[in-house]
Amino acid sequence: MSWLKITLAVKKGQLDFISEQLELAGAQAVTIEDAGDHPLFDLLDGSLPVWDDSLATGLFNAEQGSNAVLAKLANVFSPLALPQYRLEILPDQDWERSWMDRFQPIQYGHELWICPSWCEAPDPAATNIILDPGLAFGSGSHETTRLCMKWLSQQALENKTVIDYGCGSGILAIAALKLGAVSALGIDIDPHALQASRKNAQLNRVSERLQLELPSDIPEQYESDIVFANILADTLLELRSRLLSYRKPGGILILSGILQSQNELIYKEFEPGNKIQVFEDGEWLMMSVTAQ
């Protein structure tokens, strides 16, 4: 059986509506991706992707014919005009297998791996984190997460406590726990992220050591040995005082999600009273911030 792949251009704020219309028109699968090449961190409204420009793709049975499918779409969008679209006819294939084949184990340092649940661990003796790719919360492949994971793989974490602010999938907190941290706190504004983190923690058998909370539920005076904040630069600036307050005396604050062009701005705001080390991966930066 062949398929019709119809891809619609979507502006920020329209994504839920467009996805629903594709489903109403009979799409057997709906996927979302960035129209540019920007990572997804900003989940401020608690919904799914908030890129400025996205692509929503519906997969339809080609036996209906393209004219019939487009007519259905026009009907469900009425009285609004059908957004700009691209139509492709695709040969039959195992779509689930094709999607799964895109994600393979990722190595960080010598003994830390992220492995999808359907893959065998390349090194069973290493620290292997089971993490299935998710739409909104990250699978560890982006430069900002790679920087944090590589740093983690080189640390002695025994008896350390960790905060993962903007935890998403929980990848950093889970990695820290599997590398020896005694406990971790994952914080996110999106309940869906906390749900994803909880599921991944159970999959990796560390849920009893991972606390998950909304920012409003974190008690004052909470401190940790290591604090991760892998979020947008603007949000790092907004949260500067809070993030520094979470760092124990002698602890480390790890800032990521920083573009090269934002280096001086972040450095300037966090440098007073602190020693900063900068790590680079492509156009992205990570900073370790320790008290002088």
What are the tens digits of pLDDT across the range 211-270? 999 999 998 789 999 999 998 888 999 999 999 999 999 999 999 989 899 999 999 999
Q: Please, what are the domains in the chain?
A: 3-95 (3.30.70.120), 154-291 (3.40.50.150)
DSSP, collapsed to helix, strand or coil, labels residue 113 as strand
Asked if 58 and 77 touch (Cβ cutoff 8 Å), the reply is no
- Which residues have a Cβ under 8 Å from the Cβ of 238 and sit 6 or more positions away? none
| Helix runs in 29-139, H state only | 66-77, 95-101
Q: Which is nearest to 153 in space by CA: 210, 111, 114, 101?
A: 111
User: What's the DSSP call for residue 229?
Assistant: E
Q: Are strands 183-187 and 161-165 parallel, antiparallel or unpaired?
A: parallel
Query: Rounded CA gap, 250 and 98, in Å?
Result: 47
**Which residues are registered as beta bridge partners of 58?**
6, 30
Give the span between the Cα atoms of 258 and 50, in whole angstroms.
18
Range 191-206 average pLDDT: 89
Taking the C-alpha atoms of residue 261 and residue 225, their distance in angstroms, rounded to an integer, is 29
Instruction: Please give the pLDDT value at position 179.
Output: 95
Nearest to 209 by CA among 234, 244, 237, 181: 181
Q: What are phi and psi of 218, to 5 degrees?
A: -85, 125
Instruction: Report residue 232 CA to chain centroid gap.
Output: 12
What pLDDT digit, counting tens, does each position of 116-130 carry?
877 888 889 989 998
Q: Is the peptide bond before 122 cis (omega within 30 degrees of 0)?
A: no
From the list 48, 58, 61, the residue with the least C-alpha distance to 92 is 61
Find the range with the poorest average confidence among 130-144, 183-197, 255-269. 130-144
Q: What are phi and psi of 247, to 5 degrees?
A: -80, 125
Q: Give the strands of the sheet with 284-291, arranged side by side.
A: 210-213, 183-187, 161-165, 224-230, 247-259, 284-291, 274-281
Contact in structure between 275 and 248 (CB atoms under 8 Å): no
pLDDT in tens, 149-165: 999 999 999 999 999 99
